[in-house]
Amino acid sequence: MAASVQAPNDVGGDGAGVLRRALDAIDDRLGVKALQYPVPEHANNLGWSLGGLTAVSLVVLIATGVVLTQFFNPMPEEANASVRRIATDVWAGQLVRGVHFWAAQAMYVLAGLHLLRVFLTASYKRPREANWLIGVGMFALVLGAIFTGTVIKWDQEGFEALAHNLEIGELLGGAGFWFTAEFSADLPLIVRLYVAHVAIIPGLILGLLAVHFLLVKRHGISPHPVIADIAAEPREPFTHHLRRLGAFGLALVGGLLVLAALFPPGLGPTPVEGIEITRPLWMFWWLFTLENWWGLKAILWGSVALFVLLFAVPFVDRGGERRWRKRPVAIGAATAVLLVIIVLTYVTATTSAVEHL
């Protein structure tokens, strides 16, 4: 008689046992337990969580963007009016638009700080060179997303941004064919930039992000340069790291909601052709100063120079030293580049807009 009695787990009476079997079934098919790989303790501090917070910003942008696309009309004659309708007629539309706006700023800042942290800790060195290049590529795509988002509002700022886009496309010659109105004469360029903003650029970012995460898992979190005994550093599963990242992420989302409520993005005027009176968003101000001094070509060559320098980092700084105090040449060069960008940004912040087009 006793031999015929089954354990509670066998008959499904134990809820914990049922849950465990369900999770095991999911893991057999999706490999969820692969996320349990060990992560060093230093990865849980804020500086080493900047990449994850950048991903949180991307999730917020996608979520709010999906909502905004339900009400936005990208046709030139309707784009600016539909933005106004979102802000005034759609329930919580201005709040969603504000969160989207500030999440874009946050993603840019967090991505830049993440690149800076990786540079300072030399986490781009062998065998992680490819991940640095992917990160720089994603940073460029973030700038592209912000630019296209500016254009599709189709206010005066967006109109002038598109005019710059067209003229830089001409400077590129044949290489700039996609940025010309003639590439698809039957479809307004603003619509194609809208497609780039909501589909092409996010798709590329998500693809690179997937490879980025896979390479992090492949090579592990880079060791802290000041921890001498790497093997002795405490470790915990990556899923525990995700919990701490989730706490940082909740704080970020809360901050975005506060910013959106207190400082909602403005509604720009309907564009007027033949004038140039606006400045671009602040992250492009350093290029605006170059344009003031040397014309439109300076925007192109300034951007190229910056990203050539960023892509060159792991190929130029190939030594084994990772402590920033022991890398005076690399740190000095990076400081010089940052100072140039800061000074150029300050110049635009303190001067009036100049006509170039």
Say if residue 56 is exposed, middle or buried (CB neighbours under 10 Å; 0-12, 13-18, 19+). Answer: buried
Tokens of 206: 């998500």
Distance CA(86)–CA(76), nearest Å, equals 16
Rounded to the nearest 10°, the torsion over CA 343, 347, 349, 355 is -140
Structural domains for the chain:
31-275 (1.20.810.10)
pLDDT of residue 35: 74
For the stretch 306-331, pLDDT in tens is 999 999 999 999 999 999 999 999 99
Residue pLDDT, tens place only, 189-198: 999 999 999 9
Q: Coil, strand or helix: which one is 40?
A: strand
CA distances from 18 to 12, 31, 190, 306 (A): 6, 19, 53, 55
The distance in angstroms from the start CA to the end CA of the chain is 93
Q: What is the pTM of this model?
A: 0.90
Contact 93, 86 (CB under 8 A): yes
Residues 136 and 297: their CA atoms lie apart, in Å, by 22
Lowest mean pLDDT among 95-104, 261-270, 275-284, 313-322: 275-284
Strand ranges in the chain using DSSP code E only, listed in sequence order: 38-40, 235-237
Instruction: Tell me what the pLDDT averaged over the chain comes to.
Output: 90
Give the pLDDT band (50/70/90) at residue 38. Answer: confident
**How many whole angstroms separate alpha carbon 294 and alpha carbon 287?**
10
What is the per-residue pLDDT for 266?
92
State pLDDT tens for residues 273-310.
877 888 889 999 999 999 999 988 999 999 999 999 99
